């Protein structure tokens, strides 16, 4: 997994609540057996006028000019600013894969759906929760200033605005450690193999029907 340490990037505002994972990456793209290549299909139904299919060459597809990611000022954005309950719905990890593949590695919102939030950390994406009023202010500034950027520091757990305001965010210590170091948590769990075996031996005595 790619580590996440600091990021200074252009912010793209996704100004709607309850953005679901079906919207982030529609179902037809879930047929792929790979982890990459989803970026061109991120928000496919909102981004293009035609129906997308896997393996399509998206450079020739008609784009919806009013969609945020199609606007010139947000090209190259690396931080996605979102509203409440971002990533609700399906557990498809194709959603964070598409977000990452597009070029975002940080999503800021007042709240996230649990499974999506968790999936982000497994893929080198930092999801940041800030309170609704703060997110509102960020939306306002982002719309007002072309080229609006934020600077994120995971170690310090801060987001810094262009005018120097420092916003603090919370992140679970273990997830932070894994993300900062790009750690594979399977290897960490396998370090506890003896504890897992001991647990299984005990449970086999207590609840043999489970084995």
Partner 1 sequence: MGQTLFDKVWQQHVVKANDDGSVLLYIDRHLVHEVTSPQAFEGLRLAGRKPWRRAASVATPDHNVPTVDRDKGIADPVSRTQVEALDRNCAEFGITEFGLDDVRQGVVHVMGPEQGLVLPGMTVVCGDSHTSTHGAFGSIAMGIGTSEVEHVLATQCLIQKKPKVMRIQVDGALPTGITGKDIALYLIGQIGTAGGTGYAIEFAGEAIRALSMEGRMSLCNMAIEAGARCGMVAVDQVTLDYVQGRPFAPKGALAEQAEAAWRQLHSDADAVFDKELRFQAADIVPQVSWGTSPEMVLPVTGSVPDPADARDDVQREGWQRALDYMGLTAGTPIAEIAIDKVFIGSCTNGRIEDFRQAAAMVRGKQVAASVKLAMAVPGSGLVKAQAEAEGLDQIFRDAGFEWRDPGCSMCLAMNADRLEPGERCASTSNRNFEGRQGMGGRTHLVSPAMAAAAAIAGHFVDIRDWQ
CA distance 99 to 105: 7
Residue placing its CB nearer to partner 1 in the complex, 75 or 202: 202
- Binding segment for partner 1 (CB under 8 A), chosen from 33-41, 59-67, 68-76, 155-163, is 33-41
Give least dist CB 210 to partner 1, A.
5
The rounded distance, in Å, linking the Cα atoms of 51 and 191 is 46
Query: Residue 85 and residue 21: Cα distance in Å, rounded?
Result: 11
Distance separating the N- and C-terminal Cα atoms of the chain: 33
The two tokens of residue 118 are 């968790």
Q: By rule CB under 8 A, what count of residues binds partner 1? A: 58
Judged by DSSP in three states, 52 sits in: coil
CA–CA separation, 125 vs 204, rounded Å? 39
Using CB under 8 A, pick the residue from 64, 158, 180, 185 that binds partner 1. Answer: 185
Question: Look-up: residue for tokens 């006028």?
Answer: 49
* Least CB distance to partner 1 at residue 147 (A): 26
Residues numbered 38-97 forming contacts with partner 1, rule: CB under 8 A? 45, 51, 54-55, 83-85, 88-93, 96
CB 15, min distance to partner 1, A: 8
Nearer to partner 1, 118 or 158 (CB): 118
Q: Which is nearer to partner 1, 96 or 127 (CB)?
A: 96
Q: Rule CB under 8 A: say whether 17 interacts with partner 1.
A: yes
Q: What is the DSSP string of 115-171?
A: HHHHHHHTTT-EEEE--HHHHHHHHHHHHHSTT-EEEEETTTTEEE-TT--EEE---
Using CB under 8 A, which residues numbered 122 to 141 contact partner 1? 122-123
Nearest-angstrom CA–CA distance, 22 and 164 = 36
Residues in contact with partner 1 by CB under 8 A are 16-18, 20, 22-23, 26-28, 30-35, 45, 51, 54-55, 83-85, 88-93, 96, 111, 113-115, 118-119, 122-123, 172-174, 184-186, 188-190, 192-193, 195-196, 199-200, 203, 207-211
């Amino acid at each position: 997994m790619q580590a996440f340490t600091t990021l200074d990037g252009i912010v793209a505002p996704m100004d709607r609540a309850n953005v679901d994972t079906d919207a982030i990456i529609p179902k037809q793209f879930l047929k792929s057996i790979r982890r990459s290549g989803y970026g061109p299909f991120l928000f496919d139904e909102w981004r293009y006028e035609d129906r997308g299919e896997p393996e399509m060459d998206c450079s020739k597809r008609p784009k919806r000019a009013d969609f945020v990611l199609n606007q010139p000022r947000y090209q190259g954005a690396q931080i996605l600013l979102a509203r409440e309950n971002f990533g609700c719905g399906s557990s498809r990890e194709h959603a964070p894969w598409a977000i990452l593949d597009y070029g975002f590695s940080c999503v800021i919102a007042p709240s996230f759906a649990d499974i999506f939030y968790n999936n982000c950390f497994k893929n080198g994406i930092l999801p940041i929760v800030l309170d609704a009023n703060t997110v509102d202010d960020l939306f306002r500034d982002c719309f007002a200033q072309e080229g609006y950027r934020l600077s994120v520091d995971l170690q310090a757990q801060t987001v810094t605005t262009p005018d120097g305001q420092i916003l603090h965010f919370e992140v679970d210590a273990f997830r932070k450690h894994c993300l900062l170091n790009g750690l594979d948590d399977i290897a960490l769990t396998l370090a506890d193999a003896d504890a897992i075996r001991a647990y299984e031996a005990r449970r086999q005595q207590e609840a043999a029907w489970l084995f």
